[in-house]
Structure 1
Amino acid sequence: MAAFTTMSTSHASHAAAAQAQTTQATLAAAESAWQRGEAETAHALCEHLIAANPHDADALNLAGLIENGRDPLAARALIGRALAEREDPVFLVNLAMTCQCAADRDIAIRALHRAIDLRPDFAVALNNLGHLYGEAGNCAEASHHFERALALAPAHAAIHFNYGTMLYKSGEFARAQAVLRRTLELSPGHVSAWNNLAQVLLATNRNTEALVVLEHARTLAPDSADVLTNLGCVLLGAGRIDEAQAALERALERDPGRVSAWNNLGNLMMQMSRIDEARAAFTRAIELKPDFAAAHLNLGNTCSKSGSIDEAIACYRRAMACDPAHTGANSNLLWSLMFAIDDGHALRAEAEQFSARHEAALLAASAVAHHANTPEPARRLRIGYVSPDFRNHCQSLFTMPLLRHHDHEALEIFCYSLSTQTDEVTARLRGFADVWRDAHEFDDARLARQIRDDRIDVLVDLTMHMDGARRLLFARRPAPVQVAWLAYPGTTGSPSIGWRLTDPWLDPVGEPQIDDQYTERSLRLPDAFWCYDPLATDVAVNALPALTAGHITFGCLNNPCKLTDTTLALWSGVFAALPNARLLLMAPPGSARERLTKRFAAHGIDPACVSFVGFQARADYLRTYQQIDIALDTFPANGHTTSLDAFWMGVPVPTRYGRSAVSRAGLCLLANLGLPELAAASDAGYVAAVTALARDVPRLAALRAGLRVRMEVSPLMDGARFARNMEAAYRQMWQAWCAPQGATNECAR
């Protein structure tokens, strides 16, 4: 018996060993097949093992990993069975991998913590835990676990990559850059690390470096949709349109569902004024990802360019709903509301909400900031101008005469240029500055430090909520006196901007609640908010077109976003009185013109009388005024630059003014030209002013012949006078800072 037992026992042991070897071989074959991408083969092998032994923990675990790509819940059940057989740290890590939605994040975190309890040196579990905490927004906890993982595996490139990516997503760009560069030292061919490093550089406005990084990444992976998408974006910003388009179209060939590529392609089409194609691209991005805030914002921009301001506003609100932290969407909303409502108090309320949403933490931190500027009221002041538009841009029509005439003995002029684009206008403006800083690659924090280091006394925000705005820069209060001017006569809504410049026409003195429309303190310049230089003296004024055409041609070359229903209703009275008149509008080709034509018809204006021009280079745009007898103004947002351009070309612009400052721009310009009779406070008054002028062809011809000279001798083109007024305003603001308890100068109203 003993021998038999021994034999029997020996025979059973050999059989078990053989079975174990077979099981291990089958398991190895299943794992090998899975790693080769042969999921069905791997799954079948695991099923065979589990059928033979339902308690095979390793087979259950591997089956769960294979199933995870198809059915995470089924995968979790299989790995749960494996854990019931054996509590293995590897199984716990795999269980966490089945938790693919935020709702299951706590399950995954608990599983990983247990894995680390069982195996404290498990670097992979620490890495995965860091990733989950990063997704949850707990960056401190995420960093703690990534640092522990790297202490255990300092040469593990994937952990460095995940850590750097988390830091980038959490906005810690300097740390992210260092960690991603370490990733690339360990793994120079890591394409995703190159791509993410480029995104860090882009986030810190280092576009030139980002382009170099992405072009290198493309050499490693020519067909990477990630790389091509980002490369297309950077090439677009660099003005390399054809290359950008080729990169983005190739990205979409490789991955038609790439929402960011559709969004970037839409931006490219916008830049090429192909508005319908841009709209289609943004719409496709939203179809693929309904909560994609950037695409909703950009779709709103196409609506704005097409003259559909209410649609644009709805798009911006949807973008904000998708991403409440998106400052660009919020700024675009504020900018657009000015065209839709004649209510400065409502605009202020919206602007204050922007500040509460986006600036609160910075404002709290900067509220106690100390400025080292010497508080001497009469000393030479350092004035800083911040703008993305020191280039061939409409803002340069106003910065040019001011900067040209500044008194450099009284002021030291600093210009902080935020644009990647430079041209001959940039060169001219640069020549008027004492210090010029190309700051387009500075993030807000770095630029704020530079402004503090430069000891700027008065910092001028030229952008407010327009494109390229740096609201979070000003919220840091880098200068003791901060003032808003030029972008538009409104409010930033920010406590960080102490002053705004205006004039007695935009904001009449003594009218109740006028200054309550603004969070800033209003300081009225004596003449006008604007001083103009056409930057195009070679486009001549021609004879009145009506003299040969036999009818009046009206025109409106304003941004189509100003073509509100209120404006069309206002104009309908003009065309009812002058049915033979014609109208020339600026609008992009395609569906925008079709929609505008239908809207005109709805307001009783015959579409046959309306013709269109597209967006044009400045000289061609000015020549278009040679076809126009009278420019029709918009409401509630009047023309600003376009009205000055019209006057320069001899074309009068009667206006309808309202309660908000942007609706009183036409009144300001006409008053400074000595033509206040062309400004009306009601729809009926506007129609009467326009029709009376249209019927008085001799007067119209005389105005055309004399408007340019009238402009040249008015305060609207007296750069020296305007500069002295601005300098006096800066001095008053500065003195108020130096002696906050002192008497207020009476021109600050």
Structure 2
Amino acid sequence: MSSAPSIPSAPSTHPAPPAGWQATFSEAVRLQSENRWEQALTLLLPLAEQMPHEASVQNLTAVLLAQHGRLAEAVVLWQRLLAADPGNVALVANLGRACWMLERKQQALEYFSLAVQLQPQDPLALLNMGAIHQGEGRFEEALAWYERVFAVDPHHVQALFNSAQLHADAGRFTRAHELYRRVLAIDSKHVIAQAQLIFTQHYLEHPSPAQLSALARRLGAQCAAQSPVFSNWLVSFEPERPLRIGLLSADLHDHPVGYFIEGLLAHSAGKEVTWIAYANNEKRTALTERIAPAFSAWNEVFRWSDDQLAARIRSDRIDILLDLSGMGSGHRLGVLARRPAPVQVNWLGYFGTTGLPGVQAVIADPRCVPEPEEHWFSERVWRLPSTRYCFTPPKNAPEVAELPALRQGALTFGCFQTLAKINPRVIAAWARIAQRAPQARWRIRCGVKSSEEDRRSLAQRLVQAGIAADRFKVEAPLERQRYLASYGEIDVALDTFPYPGGTTSAEALWMGVPTLTLSTPGMLGRQGEQIMGAAGMAENWICFDEDAYVDRAVALAQRSAWLALAEQRRAMREQVAGSALFDNARFSRDWHELVRNIWRDACEQVISRSSQGISGPKP
């Protein structure tokens, strides 16, 4: 264990406190409790300068600085306080969390370790140790720390929730769901646990879209009931005027959402739209820097309360708020429940209903939501003509390689999905393929969160299903360029089901590798069908039952199919580049027209309500 971090010495002088400082401090406390952090900090900073030895003033100032993202300044104040009170575990915990957010990971670990040394039975200290190991991908170590929390407090909500997240990431959904339900038994209003319980059920072997819809509507009703809802907005309902569109997402970086939004933003010029970003994360990547100039304002809102963010969206005069998270990680359901924009749209980052009464529209396409499945959405379904999203070709992608089977003498199937998608149902289908195509091989490249232990576990499951160990490789993730190049090692991608690939399938097509997909009910279950259809490859690559999926894979593994596969591979990039899946200019035209129609419909409803004498615009 590393030694504790060095702490600056506390100043020795103690000037007299200014008159009436308690009243100023109490006002700052009140403002902070109302989430008016900026006003509280403005009020408190002068007092903090005058009273460097008053712990309560210095600590609240540090807290407010941290809430404003001024973490380095907060660390300095907390270090000074800790020098005067070296046994204060709360200060040590604050320093650990601040250093973690500043990417000072070793220093964070040292502070968290110090907290455990000071109070070995303190649940917060133990929790922080679990969280830092979880953030570093050391899942089993993290679980061990959470078990220590449970030994002290069996009902510790955050430790239960974090443990559930770990089990979900590892694909152990039965255990994850058990833990989410334990969280909800203690705190029935834990919205994040409810959303995760819904989201992770999409990974089950046989998810029920009807049941997921019912759960989402129940959660949506609960969020709406406990949130103050705006009933008027600072916008004019003119159907043809330029629009202000807000984009709310935790994934505006190197993430599937980022890859799919990039092309739309690049082709928005001249569309009479002003974009405003509400980025609910602190991660910035090269993709973030590429898309940020498309926005007239970029707000990093990760630390903002629901009230603060909703008020900002309303004051920004947003006409249409696009939510790109739904029930996924980093969602802001509490903000959407407040309805800070007159029109709120569910799109791209999620594949089911939000269940929220204040979200009026969901953007789909003819394949992913056929008319008989519209009733699974609380939102009105609006369809783009070809595809609900369009992919931006990877920058500097390697050239398409020749079909590997021609030089290797055997077909290699590939799957580059996250481990959680490779469920027993998928493995059973692959085992049937392996039995009927004895020369075929598999290359499985795991998602970024996979650990060596996870990969060993998958290999064991494959062997137990009857696939010999010398017929497959389960490999670690690669950095992006090497990952793209690794498509040159496989002939055909086998999709997972009922949770198909998205970005991986689009990337595979760009690298000349078609994906054999199995379409199942629901927007998510039909995602592979949607992608292959939008790429102009519906024929021969979309199956609707497992027998057809197995039969088609077996046929592709036969030597007689390889010449056609090789010819298709050579022409694939040029073909898909002109398809709806990659034609960002066409997609942008279709998308902006659809969103304009959603706005026109909202304006018509406002006019209709006004003509009936109903007060308050509620499109």
TM-score after normalising by structure 2: 0.85
Paired amino acid for 1:357: Q
- Pairing partner for 1:327 from 191, 194, 210: 191
Match of 1:382 in 2: 244
More helix by share: 1
| Structure with greater Cα Rg | 1
> Is 1:554 aligned to 2:413, yes or no?
yes
Residues 223-622 of structure 1: pairs in structure 2 closer than 5 A: 224-340=88-204, 341-362=206-227, 365-366=228-229, 369-509=231-371, 512=372, 514-585=373-444, 586=446, 588-622=450-484
Note closer, same or farther for the CA distance 1:734–1:167 as it changes in structure 2 (3 Å cut).
closer
Using a 3 Å threshold, how does the CA distance of structure 1 residues 252 and 584 change in structure 2: closer, same or farther?
farther
- Conservation of the 8 A alpha-carbon contact between 1:342 and 1:660: no
> Counterpart of 2:567?
702
- Alpha-carbon distance in structure 1 between the residues aligned to 2:237 and 2:427: 53
AA partner of residue 340 (structure 2): P
> 2:308 aligns to what SS in structure 1?
helix
Alpha-carbon offset, residue 183 of structure 1: 10
Percent pairwise identity? 30
- Which whole-Å CA distance do the structure 2 matches of 1:175 and 1:325 have between them? 29
Aligned AA (2:215): E
- The amino acid of 1:427's aligned partner reads E
Give, in whole Å, the separation in 1 of the partners of 2:297 and 2:36: 30
Is contact 2:364-2:387 (8 Å) kept?
Answer: yes
Which whole-Å deviations, capped at 9, do the CAs of 1:145-183 have from their partners, x for residues lacking one?
xxxxxxxx98889xx89x999997898978997999899
> What does the per-residue CA deviation read over 1:327-358, in whole Å, with 9 as the maximum and x for residues that have no partner?
22222222211111432211111112222333
Secondary structure in 1 matching 2:497? coil
Partner deviation per Cα, 1:97-126 (whole Å, 9 max, x = no partner): xxxxxxxxxxxxxxxxxxxxxxxxxxxxxx
Q: Map of 1:704-743 to 2, 5 A cutoff?
A: 704-740=569-605
CA shift digits 1:275-315 (9 cap, x unpaired) = 33233333333333221222222222222332323322222
Secondary structure of 1:347's match?
helix
- 1:687 maps to which residue? 550
Q: Secondary structure at the match of 1:451?
A: helix
- What SS is found at the alignment partner of 1:497? coil
Q: Judge conservation of contact 1:464–1:492 (CA < 8 Å) in 2.
A: yes
Aligned equivalents of 1:386, 1:633: Cα separation in 2? 29
Cα deviation, residue 480, structure 1: 0.7
Cα deviations by residue, 1:55-93 (Å, 9 ceiling, x for unpaired)? xxxxxxxxxxxxxxxxxxxxxxxxxxxxxxxxxxxxxxx
Code of the aligned partner of 2:229:
S
Looking at structure 1, the residues matched to 563 and 182 of structure 2 have their Cα atoms a distance apart, in angstroms, of 52
Q: What is the CA distance between 1:725 and its match in structure 2?
A: 1.3
Contact 1:693 1:699 in 2 (8 A): no
Note if contact 1:736-1:742 (Cα within 8 Å) is conserved in structure 2.
no
Cα distance change, pair 457–351 in 1 and its aligned pair in 2 (3 A): same
- 1:663 aligned counterpart, secondary structure: coil
Instruction: Give the counterpart letter for 1:287 in structure 2.
Output: A
Instruction: Report 1:2-401 matches (<5 A).
Output: 188-189=52-53, 194-195=58-59, 198=62, 210-211=74-75, 213-221=77-85, 224-340=88-204, 341-362=206-227, 365-366=228-229, 369-401=231-263
Counterpart Cα distance in 1 of 2:78 and 2:340: 33
Query: Residues of 2 paired with 1:638 and 1:671: CA distance?
Result: 14
Could you say what the CA RMSD is over the residues aligned between the two structures, in angstroms? Answer: 3.2
Q: Which amino acid aligns with 2:552?
A: A
SS in 2 for 1:551: coil
- The CA deviation at 1:674 is 2.2
Q: Residues 370 and 299 (structure 1 numbering): CA distance in 2 closer, same or farther, change over 3 Å? A: same
Equivalent in the alignment of 1:118: none
CA displacement at 1:498 relative to structure 2: 0.6
2:394–2:507: 8 Å Cα contact kept in structure 1? Answer: no
Structure 1 CA distance for aligned equivalents of residues 267 and 36 of structure 2: 42
| CA-CA distance at 1:617 after TM superposition | 2.6
User: Partner residue of 1:26?
Assistant: none
Could you tell me which residue of structure 1 aligns to residue 537 of structure 2? 675
Q: Secondary structure at the match of 2:524?
A: helix
Moved more, 710-719 or 175-184: 175-184
Question: Which one-letter code corresponds to 1:266 in the other structure?
Answer: G
Measured in 2, the distance between the counterparts of 1:520 and 1:381 equals: 21
Describe the superposition over 1:678-698 as per-residue Cα deviations: whole angstroms up to 9, x where unpaired. 111111011112221222222
Which structure is higher in RCO with an 8 Å CA cutoff and minimum separation 6? 2
Q: Distance in 1 between matches of 2:271 and 2:547?
A: 51
